[in-house]
Amino acid sequence: MFSKKGKQIIVLFLASFLLMAPYQSAPVTEINATDEEDTLSSKLTEILSDEKLDGALAGVSVRSAETGEVMYEYNEDLRLKPASNMKLLTAAAALDTLGSNYRFPTEVLADGEMKGGKLHGDLYLKGKGDPTLMKEDFEEMAQSLKEAGVREVKGDVIADDTWYDDVRLSEDISWNDETNYYAAQVSALTAAPNEDYDAGTVIVAAYPGDEEGGQANVQVTPKTDYVEIVNRTETVAADEEKDISIVREHGTNQIVVEGTIPVDGSRSRSWVAVSEPSGLALDLFHQALVDEGIKVKGEKQLNGETPDTAKQLVSKESMPLEELLIPFMKLSNNGHAEVLVKEMGKVTHGEGSWEKGLNVVEDYLSGIGVNADTMRLRDGSGMSHVNMVPANEISDLLYKIREEEWFDDYLESLPVAGDSGRFEGGTLRYRMGDTLAEGNVQAKTGSLTGVTSLSGYVTAENGEELIFSIILNNYLDSAQDIEDEIAITLANYDE
C-alpha cells in the first residue's frame, strides 16, 4: 500500500507523462475549420475515408470565393499529379499573356517574281501555331491565291513550321501514347480533322464491306495521301463479333487497320496522331491548289524557312483565344495546351519552346501570389506524370483570378456538371446529374492512370460561392465518384 503522499507523487508523475506524450494526429489528414463549418468538415473527411483511397493520396482545398478564406483542408500542400487540372494554370497564364482576342495567323508567301499569273519561284506556307486549321481553310487560302491572280507556281510549295522549335513531344510522353490523338505532335504548322480541333490527327473509320469475306471500307478524314492505310480487315457474318484495331506504326505514317466487322455492323472510328503534322498541312494545301486549278511545277517540301525577301500573298487568322478556350477546356484538348505554352514562350522570350513557355506560366503564377516554387511543371496539358501541384495552390489561383478582366472568358470555358451539351457540359456532361451540382458546378476535370482531379467553382445551397480543388493519386479503382460526392456535398452546404 502507498501512503497518501506516495499516491500524490504517482498521480503527478502520470499527469506529467500524459502531458509530455506526443499528440497522435491522423497520419494523412489535416483539417482547418471554424466551429460553424464542423459539419461540412466531418462530411468531407468521411468521404475521403473511402476504402478506395486506402494506400492512395488525396489533396483537397475548399475556399470562400468572396474572401479566399480556407474552409477545409486535407493534405492541401501535398504535391500531387494534377493531370488535366494543369490546364487551369495554362489557360490563366495564356489569357493574361496573350489576351482574350489573341489570334494565330497562317501566311502564304512568295519568293520570286510574278509574271502573267505565274510565280517564278517558291510558295511558302508558314504556320504560326494555329491548331484550328482544317481542310476548308486551306481551300479558302488557295481560292484567295487564285483571286489574287496566281495561276501557276514554277517552283516548290514549301512548309515552314519554324515559328516554334522542332521538339514535337513534351519530354514525358510515353512510347505507347505517341500515336494516340491525345498525345499528338506539336508543330507551328498543323491541321485538324474536325471542329474538335485535335490538331495533328486524322480520323480513320472502318465500315462493313458490301459482302461477307470482303475487306472493310476504310475512310480517312480529311482525305489525304499523307498517311498510308494498310487494310487487313474482313467483313464477317452479321452474328459474328466486331473487333477492329486502328494503329499507326511508330516512326511512319502507315496506319494498320485490322480485325473483323459484321456485315450489318456499325463503324469503328479512331483519331490517330500523324508523324510530322506540318506534312499533313502541306498535303492539304497542295491538294487545294490543284483543285483550284493552280498548277504546281515543283515539289512539296518540308522543313523550309521562309526567306526575308518573300512577300505575303494571303493570311488567315484563327478564332480569338476566348473562343478557342471552349474546345480547349470543355473537351480537355492536350494539343491546345501545348501550343499555348509554346506561343507564350515565343511572344515573351522569342522562343517557341516548352522551357520558355513554362517559364512564362511560372512567372505569371508568382506574380499574382501563387506559390510556383512548390510546383514542378513539365508541360501545359497535364499529360506528364512528373507534374506536381498542391491542391491549395490551385484553389488559390482560382480565387485570385476572379478579379482579372478576362475571368468571364475563363469561367465560361469550364465544363458544367450534368449539362448534356458537348460544348457546354464538356467532360462533366455525364456527371452529377439530378443533384444540386447539376448546372451549378463549373470545374476542370483531369484523368491519368491512377490520377483524377476536379477543381472549380460551385454555389452552395446557402448562396455562398465556393472554390474547390480535389486531386487524387495512386488509387487502384476508379475514384471519380469521390470527387463527385465532394462537389455535391459542397452544393448542398447550407450552414
Q: 286 to each of 105, 161, 230, 262, how far by Cα in Å?
A: 19, 16, 24, 37
- Which CATH code for domain 105-168+277-318? 3.50.80.20
In DSSP notation, 399-418 reads HHGGGSTTHHHHHHTS-BTT
Q: Are 33 and 72 in contact (CB under 8 A)?
A: yes
Percent above pLDDT 70 for the chain: 93
How far are the Cα atoms of 46, 86, 97, 449, 473 from residue 446, in angstroms, in the given order? 23, 8, 24, 10, 11
Residue 49: active-site member: no
Are 385 and 445 in contact by the 8 Å Cβ rule? The answer is: no
Helix (H) / strand (E) element for 1: namely none
Task: Please give the CATH topology (third level) of the domain spanning 35-101+322-491.
Answer: Beta-lactamase (3.40.710)
Residue 449 clears pLDDT 90, i.e. is over it: yes
pLDDT (tens digit per residue) in 277-302: 999 999 999 999 999 999 999 999 99
pLDDT in tens, 83-136: 999 999 999 999 999 999 999 999 999 999 999 999 999 999 999 999 999 999
384: nearest Cα among 376, 392, 393: 376
Tell me how many degrees the CA angle 16-17-18 measures, rounded to the nearest 5.
90
The DSSP bridge pattern shows strands 157-160 and 300-301 to be: parallel
Cβ-based neighbour number of residue 187 at 10 Å: 27
The pLDDT value given to residue 268: 97
Q: How far is residue 321's CA from residue 319's CA, in Å, rounded to a whole number?
A: 7
Of the candidates 41, 61, 81, 84, the residue annotated as catalytic is: 84
The predicted structure's pLDDT at residue 37: 52
What ranges do the domains of the chain cover?
A: 35-101+322-491, 105-168+277-318, 201-273
Q: Which of 65, 61, 67 is nearest to 44 (CA)?
A: 61
Residue, of 159 and 39, whose pLDDT is higher:
159
C-alpha cell at 45: 473527411
pLDDT at position 145 over 50: yes
Active site residue 381: no
Instruction: DSSP letter for 327, please.
Output: I
Query: How many angstroms separate the Cα of 59 from the Cα of each of 23, 270, 358, 384?
Result: 22, 35, 23, 18
Look up residue 483 and give its amino acid.
E
Does residue 279 sit in helix, strand or coil?
helix
Q: Please, which pLDDT band fits residue 10 given cuts at 50, 70 and 90?
A: very low
**Residue 389 DSSP code:** B
Are the beta carbons of 454 and 442 closer than 8 angstroms?
no
Distance CA 85, CA 87 (A): 5
Going from the C-alpha of 241 to that of each of 64, 81, 207, 267, 372, the distances in angstroms are: 53, 39, 14, 13, 52
First vs last Cα of the chain: how many Å apart? 56
Catalytic residue among 275, 332, 381, 469: 332
Residue 454 three-state SS: strand
Tell me if domain 35-101+322-491 and domain 105-168+277-318 are identical in fold.
Answer: no
DSSP secondary structure letter of residue 328:
I
How many CB atoms neighbour CB 38 within 10 A? Answer: 12
- Distance CA(38)–CA(260), nearest Å, equals 58
Name residue, grid cell 483519331. 271
Task: Tell me which of 81, 87, 128, 330 is the catalytic residue.
Answer: 87
How far apart are the C-alpha atoms of 352 and 189, rounded to whole Å? 13
**Is 84 part of the annotated catalytic residue set?**
yes
Local confidence band at 495 (pLDDT 50, 70, 90 cut-offs) = confident
pLDDT tens digit string along 16-48?
A: 443 344 333 334 444 444 444 579 999 999 999
